[in-house]
Amino acid sequence: MQALRHYLLAVQFFTRIPVTGRLAAWVGYSPAMLRASAAHFPGIGWLAGGLSCAVFALLHQGLGAQQPLASLVAAVLCTVATVLMTGGFHEDGLADVADGLGGSYDRERALDIMKDSRIGAFGAMALVLALLAKVSLLALLGAHSLGAALAALAGGHVLSRLWPLFIVRWLPHVGDTARSKSKPLADQISRGALAAAVLWCFLPLALVYQAQAVTFLIASITVSMVAAAWMGRWFARRLQGFTGDCLGATQQVGEIGFYLGAALALGAAR
């Protein structure tokens, strides 16, 4: 029951799915509980991946799989669905990171820019390019086969939510500790929490393996991991740590990396 509370707290924190009233009172809240909920972040990917797969499959089949633009429409609207479910939480982090690190080479100035809720030129460009990358890659996968797109969505949403936990484990938190929602997460990420997070990824990735060739899975995981590791190295060099926005940005880049790896694997197999 305690694990269920931690999972529902993660749902409450990272999605717009209502956890209110008596349920919220039963779940409760404390910084220690929020730290423990980190083990279930890839479990949020189950919800996002399941929703996106359902929307993509319904539209892909409903519009007619043979229609040239069916995959594109399905890719756009499944992305809209996941953004609505999460409230654009991670996309907002990506925009803030791009504004901060793109707007200044000075560490302190970059951190100040990242706190500003207004979006700048670098943030707007990052959002547009990230959404274009997601939609175009998903449309490409859907044009190859419905199964390829669904496998990428299921695996990408889950695995991309694992990588930020390694950044929390590796780097210190350098944001505004008085106001940062992510600060309790930065206090401690245990090996046990990381192990639990990895277990959340096992079933979706096993399904990807069953549905697609092993090269599809290996390429997807590899490109996603390299992209997330590059983000971590960037934060270490520029900020000497991470903020909550950095975690959201890492999730977005890891998700795009998964789709890119899948598309490359299918292209190489032709």
* DSSP letter for each residue of 201-259: HHHHHHHHHHHS-HHHHHHHHHHHHHHHHHHHHHHHHHTSSB-HHHHHHHHHHHHHHHH
Number of Cβ atoms within 10 Å of the Cβ of 97? 31
Q: What is the pLDDT of residue 191?
A: 87
pTM of the model: 0.94
CA distance 43 to 162: 9
Number of Cβ atoms within 10 Å of the Cβ of 187? 13
Q: What is the pLDDT of residue 182?
A: 54
Show me where the domains of the chain are located: 2-269
CA distance 21 to 39: 24
160 backbone dihedrals φ, ψ, rounded to 5°? -65, -20
Q: Cα–Cα distances in Å, from 80 out to 14, 42, 76, 121, 190?
A: 16, 20, 6, 22, 34
Helix%, strand%, coil% for the chain, nearest 5: 80, 0, 20
* Cβ proximity of 75 and 142 under 8 Å: yes
Q: Cα–Cα distances in Å, from 122 out to 55, 97, 99, 100, 103?
A: 30, 9, 5, 8, 7
Q: What is the pLDDT of residue 187?
A: 58
Q: What is the pLDDT along the chain (270 residues), one digit of tens a residue?
A: 788 999 999 999 899 999 888 988 998 888 888 888 888 999 999 999 999 999 999 999 999 878 889 999 999 999 999 999 999 999 999 999 999 999 889 999 999 999 888 899 999 999 999 999 999 999 999 999 999 999 999 999 999 999 999 999 999 998 765 555 555 665 568 888 899 999 999 999 999 999 998 999 999 999 999 999 999 999 999 999 999 999 999 999 999 999 999 999 999 877
Q: What is the pLDDT of residue 93?
A: 94
Q: Cα–Cα distances in Å, from 257 out to 12, 76, 226, 237, 249?
A: 26, 18, 8, 21, 12
Q: What is the pLDDT of residue 166?
A: 95
